[in-house]
């Protein structure tokens, strides 16, 4: 019995040590581009009644004012950004107390092998910060979209990681009511029967959305009375 306990203890210590030493990249991709976007944002101040879309390239590449026919829409997406980047810049968004904040973030964290628990924690911290500094802002957090098999050609780090996205999404959905934000299950709209990003909504890179994908997104937001 003592031998079994000793072996179990050694295994546990080894697991903890591995978890403590495991490293992952928290830095945003394309850091020079990140800084250029921040400079651009300073020249485009957010108004109090604005609707802000905050996130990564999937947020950035949408022509939101044209898609929605609404000049109040402010695009605060940055290609390559992750939850750490959004944490760094969310105060610049909420200082103007926007009417609504739509958050779309997480796929780059998953590509960088950032643990699910850290991704969820960062998103919750973003939500808490918005509530503390702009309590009247309505918060909508999108599910992390799946990729499809084409992603392995241009973005191999994102390939075969749908399971991680599902884990994050499950926790976001479970916690939405308690943490008082609206969970937007965009994955359910854009995935195919196999749970992957439907090719009819995707660019050939298997990660980003095409025009049809953005139109389906907007249709879902309108049907859900978010916009």
In which region does residue 195 sit, left (phi positive, over 0), alpha (psi from -120 to 50) or beta (all else)? left
Question: Is residue 7, in this structure, part of any structural domain at all?
Answer: no
Which one, of 117, 224, 101, 222, lies nearest residue 172 by Cα?
Answer: 117
Residue, of 22 and 121, whose pLDDT is higher: 121
128 falls within a domain: yes
Print the domain residue range for 168: 25-223
Residue 2 lies inside a defined structural domain of this protein? no
Per-chain mean pLDDT for the chain: 90
Residue 17 counted as domain residue: no
Report if residue 4 sits inside a domain: no
Of 180, 110, 177, 106, the closest CA to residue 139 belongs to 180
Question: Residue 51 and residue 72: Cα distance in Å, rounded?
Answer: 6
Q: Is residue 214 part of a domain?
A: yes
What would the pLDDT profile of 24-67 be if each residue is shown by its tens digit? 666 666 778 989 999 999 998 898 889 999 999 999 999 999 99
Overall number of domains in the chain: 1
CA-to-CA distance for 19 and 152, rounded, in angstroms?
27
What secondary structure does DSSP assign to 46-82, as a single string? PPTT-EEEEESHHHHTS-HHHHHT-TTEEEEE-TT--
In a domain, 46, yes or no: yes
- Here the CATH number for the domain that contains residue 39 is 3.40.50.1110
How confident is the model over 201-211, as a mean pLDDT?
98
Q: Alpha carbon of 46 to those of 27, 72, 75, 208: distances in Å?
A: 26, 9, 10, 26
Could you read off the pLDDT of 138-196 as tens digits, one per residue? 999 999 999 999 999 999 999 999 999 999 999 999 999 999 999 999 999 999 999 99
Yes or no: say if 93 and 42 are a contact pair by the CB < 8 Å rule. Answer: no
């Amino acid at each position: 019995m003592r031998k079994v306990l000793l072996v179990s203890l050694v295994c546990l210590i080894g697991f903890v040590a591995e978890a403590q030493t495991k490293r992952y990249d928290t830095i945003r991709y394309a850091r020079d581009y990140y800084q250029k976007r921040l400079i651009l944002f300073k020249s485009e101040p957010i108004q109090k009644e604005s609707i802000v879309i905050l996130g990564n390239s999937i947020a950035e590449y949408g022509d939101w004012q044209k898609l929605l026919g609404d000049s109040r829409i402010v695009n605060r997406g940055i290609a390559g950004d992750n939850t750490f980047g959004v944490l760094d810049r969310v105060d610049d968004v909420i200082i103007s107390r926007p009417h609504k904040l739509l958050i779309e973030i997480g796929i780059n964290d998953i590509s960088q092998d950032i643990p699910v628990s850290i991704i969820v924690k960062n998103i919750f911290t973003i939500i808490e910060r918005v509530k503390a500094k702009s309590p009247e802002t309505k918060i909508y957090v999108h599910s992390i979209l799946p990729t499809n098999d084409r992603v392995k050609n241009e973005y191999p780090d994102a390939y075969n990681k749908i399971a991680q996205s599902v884990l994050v999404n499950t926790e976001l959905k479970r916690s939405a009511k308690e943490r008082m934000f609206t969970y937007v299950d965009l994955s359910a709209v854009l995935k195919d029967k196999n749970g992957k990003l439907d090719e009819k909504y995707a660019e050939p890179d298997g990660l980003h959305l095409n025009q049809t994908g953005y139109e389906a997104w907007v249709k879902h937001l309108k049907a859900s009375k978010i916009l």
